[in-house]
Amino acid sequence: MTFYDTHPLNRPHLYDALSVSFIARYWDRTSQAFELAYDNNAQTGFVVQIIYNNTLIYEETTNSNGETPSVALPALLADEPLTVTLDMVGFDDGKGPFTETFSIQLLTDRLRTLGAPLQLRMKRKISDNHQLFYADAYDEDPENIGEIDSWLRFDDDFDPNHFNILVEGDSWFHYPIPKNTDLRQVCLAALRGRVKSKTVSVLELQHFGDRATSVLPPPGGMLDTSSESYKLLLEWATQYRFDAVLLSAGGNDFADPGFSTDVDEWEGDLQPYINHVLEGPQEEHVFDPYAASLANVDMANANIAMEQSFSALLNNHYWNKYLSNIPYLDIENSHIVQDTPRSRLQPPDIDAGIISVLDNVIPNTGFVDWTFDALLNNWPAGSEFPYGHNGPVDDALELIFDRQRVMDRVNAIYHGYSDFIKDLTKAGITRIVAHSYAYPIYNEFATHIYMGARTGNWRRKAGPWLNIRLIEAGINNKFVRSFALKGLIDIVSREVLHRLDSDLANFVFVDLRNIAVLPDHWRDEMHLDVGGFEPCGEAIANRIAALFAADFN
């Protein structure tokens, strides 16, 4: 059986006391689901004991919520083992009684400098004196930092004479698919294979789904200066000597779905909106803000979800209409088909207008006859959208995208990057290396990500993120959708990464857009497989090796 327990550590007073409480769950092998550590039939909880230096210093029983009360323990020595035992007295799920014992190491000295309360979450049975801590990245508490275990491993082996790299990023650096290799792994393997004599050590802080910034409060992006994770990252950047930072960020700021296309995934703050749903063109679920607002549902969280979504950037999308304060009666007949049991979202097709503009891009070549290679190889230079206008490409982008919202999104990412780089420079880091994304135009499929036992679901569908929203905005031609996505990647590369490369001396932009990635090298709509990540990772490694020629072949 697996259980999860949470230890809130009161860091400002670690030398005086350790505040401990538990939230425990177990995997029920009969129901095949996670259950709170409490037997409702017998009204019996888990007994949680902590043994320190052969002395019982904590004993509490979980309540019906699987929780134990918080108790302040006396001052403890950091180098003494702390044993935690959970025992369900008389409990048996039909497959055997439950008792687990863990031995953990107090981290007083190493945590005392961190600035705010931090929940450390211990997972799976571990041997004596072996440390395996992490804060659950799925927890809603923004102060839970998901990279503690990586920090502990890095701290154990830290040597200022190593070639030390700090990695921060999204799913291109952290793709949780079993037996799948991501860009970070390829790049680091290439660097370790080319290093002359040093050891390459890495502090890995990446997590799939992370945004670079938050469009609206509360802070939550990896580059949001007010977030706890950002403050912690800067403390580590200052505490250790890093040669370089490897950064992958910005994709989720554009690809955010807002609401999942499956209402079964609407949890927490979004649960009240589950009854306000339209059926989308692909039989997906689309949140209906007009119906929800008419029902006097609290719209604050829904507005945040929509405003930071990809859909908000699309002129003809239902959400963009709502966020732009267009009355429902003005779009009811054009976007909605009244039906039962659920009305359908059926926006007007806008392909024809876009194609008529793009037919002018290549003389005597109808856009509908283009291949993907033609789209990539014949794209005219000089696009200035969203900040300016230069030719038919910008005319077409203007038809697809909300200029002001794209501009606001680009500005937020640029300033997030810029502030982050300046803070890292103050911490003594001289090279920050970031990459563009490849063009996501070959694959429109979803993927299945590995969620782990925490949720009780070993596999979970993710995506598609982009094309389905373009279809919801009346863009049904695949080549027009590919044009839109190529344009978006170019905007981020040109207006964020290239600008930073020009503006900041220690920022290095590795452009992956023209790397030879084949159509069958896409794992899903937005992610490459190992065959695609390998040439991209090699390109980044080559750039780093050139920057640090004394250390790499």
pLDDT tens, 511-538? 999 887 788 888 888 888 888 899 999 9
Relative to beta strand 244-248, strand 432-435 is: parallel
pLDDT tens, 190-214? 999 999 999 999 988 877 677 776 4
**Confidence class for position 497, pLDDT limits 50, 70, 90:** very high
Q: Alpha helix locations (H) across 49-172?
A: 108-111, 148-157
Residue 118: the pLDDT is 36
Residue 11: the pLDDT is 30
* Residue among 358, 387, 386, 260 nearest 311 (CA): 260
Residue 104: the pLDDT is 42
d(CA 222, CA 536): 23
Both tokens of residue 463? 């995506």
241-265 average pLDDT score? 84
pLDDT tens, 1-44? 223 333 333 332 232 345 566 666 655 545 555 567 777 777 77
406-420 average pLDDT score? 90
d(CA 519, CA 278): 33
pLDDT tens, 314-360? 999 999 999 999 999 889 888 888 775 678 888 899 999 998 888 77
Residue 40: the pLDDT is 74
Residue 394: the pLDDT is 93
Are the C-beta atoms of 501 and 509 separated by less than 8 Å? yes
- Higher-confidence residue of 305 and 101: namely 305
pLDDT tens, 416-475? 888 888 989 998 998 999 999 988 888 777 776 554 433 444 455 676 789 999 999 999
pLDDT tens, 127-171? 222 222 222 222 233 333 345 557 767 877 789 999 999 998 888
**Confidence class for position 122, pLDDT limits 50, 70, 90:** very low
297-308 average pLDDT score? 84
Residue 23: the pLDDT is 62
Residue 320: the pLDDT is 96
The angle at the Cα of 209, spanning 286 to 146, to the nearest 5 degrees, equals 135
- Higher-confidence residue of 259 and 487: namely 487
Are the C-beta atoms of 320 and 350 separated by less than 8 Å? no
What mean pLDDT, rounded, does the chain reach?
Answer: 74
pLDDT tens, 47-81? 777 666 677 777 888 888 877 777 766 655 444 44
Are the C-beta atoms of 292 and 302 separated by less than 8 Å? yes
pLDDT tens, 367-378? 666 677 777 777
Domain extents for the chain?
1-134
- Higher-confidence residue of 140 and 293: namely 293
d(CA 459, CA 68): 31
Lowest mean pLDDT among 87-96, 324-333, 494-503: 87-96
Asked if the model's pLDDT at residue 490 lies above 90, the reply is yes
Report the CATH fold assignment for 1-134. Answer: Immunoglobulin-like (2.60.40)
Residue 346: the pLDDT is 86
| Torsions phi, psi for 497 (to 5 deg) | -75, -45
d(CA 142, CA 138): 10
**Confidence class for position 231, pLDDT limits 50, 70, 90:** confident
- Higher-confidence residue of 348 and 266: namely 348
Residue 95: the pLDDT is 47
